[in-house]
Amino acid sequence: MIEKKSLVGYGKDEYDPSIRDDVAQFLFEECQKRQPKRILEIGTYIGYSASIMLSASNQSHLTTIEKNEENFDIAKQNLAKFDGRITMIKGDALEVVKLLKEEKFDFIFIDGPKSQYPKYLPYLKNMLESGGVLMADNINFHGYVKVDGKVAHKHRTSVNRIREFLESVKSDADFTTQFYDMGDGVSFSIKR
C-alpha cells in the first residue's frame, strides 16, 4: 500500500484531512476484494485515497472530484503514474455529480464537504450499480455526531447534515449499511 508520507504535498496543512491509517487499510482491502471497475471519489485532496483504491484494484478506472485548485494540482502530480486509469475533475462536487448522474459506478467513496453528504445521496444512489459500495468517511465529525444535546454553532450544520445522511442510508431499504468506529467514523453501504 502507498505510503502517505511519500506524496507530494504531505504535511502542507497543519491539519491533515487525508484518511487515517486504519481507514486506508480498510479501503485498500475492500477495493482489493471487490475489484471495482469504475470508482467515483468525492474529495481528492492530495490523491492519497485515490492512490490506495487504484493500487488495490488493477483494472479500475477512477473519477475523482476536487474543488481546491492547489490540492487538485498536487493530486495531479501524485496520481500521474495512474494516467489512463483516472479522470480528475476540478469543480464543486455537487455540480459535477449532477452532470455525471447518468454514469454508473461500482464503488463510490465520499470524503468531501461533510455538510453536502445528504445532497449527494440521491444522485449517488442512482449512479451506484446493484451490489456496489457507497463508503463515506468522517461520519463522526470529530465525535460531534455522537454527542447528545447542543452542538457548538460552528459545527451544527455539518453535524445535522451528517446525521441526516446517516439516517437516510440506514433507513433506505435499497441499502445494507454498517458503521465502523475507525478513523473519524465510516459508513459502508451496499446497494441491493
Provide the pLDDT confidence category of residue 31 given band limits of 50, 70 and 90.
very high
List strands edge to edge, sheet with 86-90: 86-90, 61-66, 38-42, 105-110, 128-137, 186-191, 175-180
Give the mean pLDDT of 25-48. Answer: 98
Give the mean pLDDT of 46-73. Answer: 97
pLDDT tens digits, 13-22: 877 889 999 9
Provide the pLDDT confidence category of residue 185 given band limits of 50, 70 and 90.
very high
How far is 42 from 111, CA to CA, in rounded Å? 6
**Which 3 state secondary structure label does DSSP give 90?**
strand
For residue 40, CA distances in Å to 61, 102, 121, 136 come to 9, 13, 13, 12
For residue 191, CA distances in Å to 15, 29, 50, 177, 188 come to 33, 19, 22, 9, 10
What is the pLDDT, as a whole number, of residue 136? 98
pTM above 0.75, yes or no: yes
Q: Report which secondary-structure segment, H or E, holds 166.
A: helix 153-171
For residue 109, CA distances in Å to 64, 117, 151, 177 come to 9, 11, 27, 14
Percent of the chain with pLDDT over 70: 100
**Which residue from 144, 125, 150, 149 is spatially nearest to 136, judged by alpha carbons?**
125
**Which residue from 95, 96, 101 is spatially nearest to 124, judged by alpha carbons?**
101
